[in-house]
Amino acid sequence: MTKKVKVLVVDDSPTMRGLIATALTKDPDIEVVGQAEDPIQARQAIKALNPDVVTLDVEMPNMNGLEFLEKIMRLRPMPVVMVSTLTGRGADETIQALEIGAIDCIEKPRPGNEHSFEELPYKVKIAASVRVRPLVRSESTPRTAQSTRAEHESYVSDGRIVAIGASTGGVEALMQVLSGFPENCPPTVITQHMPPTFTKSFANRLDRMCAPKVQEATDRAKIMPGNIYLAPGGTEHLEITADLRCRLKSGERVNGHCPSVDVLFDSVSRSCKGNAIGVILTGMGKDGAAGLLSMRKAGAKTFGQSEASCVVYGMPKVAFEIGAVEKQLPLDRLAPAIISETATNKKH
């Protein structure tokens, strides 16, 4: 990098601020330019220090972290990485933060995962490189399940499985895509790069927002129409078996990730051949590109998110460049394209 990434650390705990700052300054490309214990101090520090990235705790005095994040994204959009506990409430609020516009999240160290901050410098540097858009609350935000249900009353799936992969920026992207799916949507499997426990909160939030049933995938779960299965974060990859069941398989990281999009896509190409749709969304790196190419070679239809609509045009770019993407589409056109392609009465 040509210059150091300037970071402001915001957390009400002096100990946690110290841990975050120590983790970040181990990277020679990062400089911690300031610390703040609450949003009031943080607001002043942002004006004075003009940081490239802010790390933000969810629960703080004087103003909730989510309220502060929303003000940032409305008034002065900038990259924010959420630092959260693994409690149910902390995970739920972190998912809301990613929906509002935070770039990524990382869990605070805990027994059994004392080294969670090892990835923090990497996440911060990714955040510094992404495009951040102002938060706009409008009618274009994800539609209600009721409106989607009415819109697709005549839809009948042709039975093809839809496999979706996403990483940085994927929470917002998946919410928009899945909110456009009808209640009887094609059976859908998803790998989104996300820490453990956050995926359960994300699945629950998607389930509340979308017409189909959304759930964390469980081992041997039968893949059924009207259901969406999200790979759990952690130490297992999600695969699809020949008898169309979810398989959670322990394994090493692939492309730096577990679960990996490549592992999911490769299994779909083997188990479903051309009877599938592959979709690669926003994300840093190349995970999913090779797997999507395998799906296309097996006869599957493949879509990639367009550069202009991505938070990070990494995974879709690599997939497009190696010939894995048959058609690139803006985010708001992906759901209609998937549903049109999988309808039994689709027009050629």
Catalytically active residues, by annotation: 167, 193, 287
Residue 332: how many other CB atoms lie within 10 Å: 12
CA 332 – CA 311 distance, rounded (Å) = 14
Give residue 21's region: left, alpha or beta (phi > 0; psi -120 to 50).
alpha
210, with CB counted inside 10 A (0-12, 13-18, 19+), is buried
Place of tokens 């496999």: 163
d(CA 262, CA 225): 23
User: Which of 112, 124, 132, 156 minimizes the C-alpha distance to 282?
Assistant: 132
| 309 secondary structure, DSSP code | G
- Name the 3-class secondary structure at 331: helix
* Tally of CB atoms within 10 A around 340: 12
Q: Round to whole Å and give the CA distance between 183 and 343.
A: 13
CA 307 to chain centroid: 16
Contact between 295 and 164 (Cβ < 8 Å): no
Residue 344 has which token pair? 């039994």
Cβ(277)–Cβ(300) under 8 Å?
yes
Q: How far is CA 296 from CA 228, 238, 275, in A?
A: 22, 19, 11
**β-pair type (276-280, 246-250):** unpaired
**Cα–Cα distance, 117 to 110 (Å, whole number):** 10
